[in-house]
Structure 1
């Protein structure tokens, strides 16, 4: 009898609180990692004259904003979580527009970036993205904000691997064209990631509406 009561307690509010605390720790960790990536990425990107590295750093800043919003949404009502996810999506789309403007500005004037610096920084970022993705995968469930966070981190991994390749092409061609092309690709990936998050948020609203209708 006592064993049944104990197991009942484990699945009650205390377990929910523990899960929410774990979610907060995960989001805080990936938030701090992304802030660090942003600070170092901007410094290295400016020094190396790399649009792609600066773009990736701004992407990390947008990700950090998303993780902060997601952190705020943990344990709150479903409607608040959906609003937080939508804010994340629009932030990413706004970032894509800013990146496009920066690429166009540099297209009309700029020296070739430092390829080796691009490759090393992007490789470090890719490794950190894998750490973040592994942490986010610990969360199981349909939380729209964790889905948004996983989308961001997956996009970042692809971007940084592409920057490694771009750095090699910059060295080979002695041109800033690969860096600018990748800047455009980062903008497109960011815009698509924002679109995916907005779709996820809309689907969550539709599912909640269907569930309310059945009740």
Structure 2
């Protein structure tokens, strides 16, 4: 799905489609780490979530760079291609979100995977909204604005996931406040 959406983003000259495609790549990486961390213990799960937060932050910065390029060379995206690809991505990501609904509260690892999927569905809806805006205005601005919104969502989610993962790693590394006193032998 990443490759299809990435190519469509390039062909359509769409910042929001490119941003969403990069998010798809991140999700594939994130789901791989999540599966690897399942059953490996809380430290592995927290480290996996920390890495996922870093990936989200990196993608947010990448989307901001694409927005800057779009501002320099403003090309009106192809609204129809944006809309069709956004709809296809929305269907795929909604199915993943449904699958992750139950285990989302199990641990920081599953929560971070669920957040990634939730962000995907929001970004897909944003791509559809941007496609409509481009079609109505014949301007790149709706696409640019949605690209900025997707970048902001990446940043906010990255901060949230990194904070949760660091908190869990700190809790796991901190010894108990009041360790039991040794028994006094006779």
TM over 0.5: yes
What stretches of structure 2 of length at least 5 have no aligned partner? 180-186
Q: Which of 53, 63, 82 is 2:17 aligned to?
A: 53
Q: Which of 89, 111, 118 is 1:147 aligned to?
A: 111
**Displacement after TM superposition at 1:211 (Å):** 8.0
Provide the residue aligned with 1:136 in structure 2.
100
Aligned length: 179
Alignment of 1:24-103 (within 5 A): 37-103=1-67
Provide the residue aligned with 1:160 in structure 2.
124
Q: Normalising to structure 2: TM-score of the pair? A: 0.89
SS in 2 for 1:151: helix
| Aligned counterparts of 1:141 and 1:173: Cα–Cα separation in 2 | 42
Q: Normalising to structure 1: TM-score of the pair? A: 0.77
Provide the residue aligned with 1:123 in structure 2.
87
CA contact (8 A) 2:105 2:111 kept: no
Of structures 1 and 2, the one with the larger relative CO (CA 8 A, separation 6+) is: 2
Q: Does 1:171 align with 2:135?
A: yes
In structure 2, the CA distance between the partners of 1:196 and 1:101, relative to structure 1 (3 Å rule), is: same
Please list the CA deviations of residues 114-168 of structure 1 after superposition, one character each: whole Å capped at 9, or x if unmatched. Answer: 1111111111211211100111124265321110000011111111111111111
**Displacement after TM superposition at 1:204 (Å):** 2.2
Cα RMSD for the two superposed structures: 1.8
Q: More helix by proportion, 1 or 2?
A: 1
Provide the residue aligned with 1:190 in structure 2.
154
**Displacement after TM superposition at 1:72 (Å):** 1.4
Runs of 4+ in 1 over 6 A off after TM superposition: none
